[in-house]
Amino acid sequence: MQIYLLRHGIAEDASPGQADADRALTPEGMKRLREILKRARTASVSPTMIVTSPYVRARQTAEMAAEILGYTEELVPSVKLVPMASPVETWAEVRTLRGEPSLLLVGHEPHMSSFLGFLLGTPELRVDFKKGAMVRVDLFELGVQPRGVLKWMMAPKLAL
């Protein structure tokens, strides 16, 4: 199974009284995200399922990914991808999708870097997971503890 982790693009600052979950992508965030997704398309990224945090900025990121990567199915929302989600619980959900050859998970920090470390068997791993960055991990075992191999990480500045 291939797992792609994508952190949402640059989002607006919260206005007074606005919930964090309601923050949207900025025009600059959309522009940078479009470039990284185009680069991902040239790297043959073609998810069979896109699972996204229900937060607005992540949903917008997932919608853009679907458009650029040619994904035509429904996006799957999951609270297991919100900022403070547990990597163990996210993994339990991913394991239920074992029939999917290629998953794109769209979420937030600090969860994305924590989940990456968990997938690689190094929970103490520190990753500077920039907004709009994408990672590919290949998994060969879907047991209780994942055994993943980091294939690549693409930061937005590299795609521009």
- Region 87-115: mean pLDDT is 96
Transcribe 51-89 into DSSP letters: EE-SSHHHHHHHHHHHHHHT--S--EE-GGGSTT--HHH
Distances (CA, A) of 89 to 16, 62, 102: 32, 21, 19
Average pLDDT over residues 18-32: 94
Mean pLDDT of all residues belonging to the chain: 94
| 55-76 tens-digit pLDDT | 999 999 999 999 999 999 999 9
Confidence (pLDDT) at 96: 94
Q: Residue ranges per domain, the chain?
A: 2-159
Residue 131 and residue 114: Cα distance in Å, rounded?
A: 15
Please tell me the pTM assigned to this model: 0.95
159 pLDDT band, cuts 50/70/90, is low
Domain 2-159 carries which CATH code?
3.40.50.1240
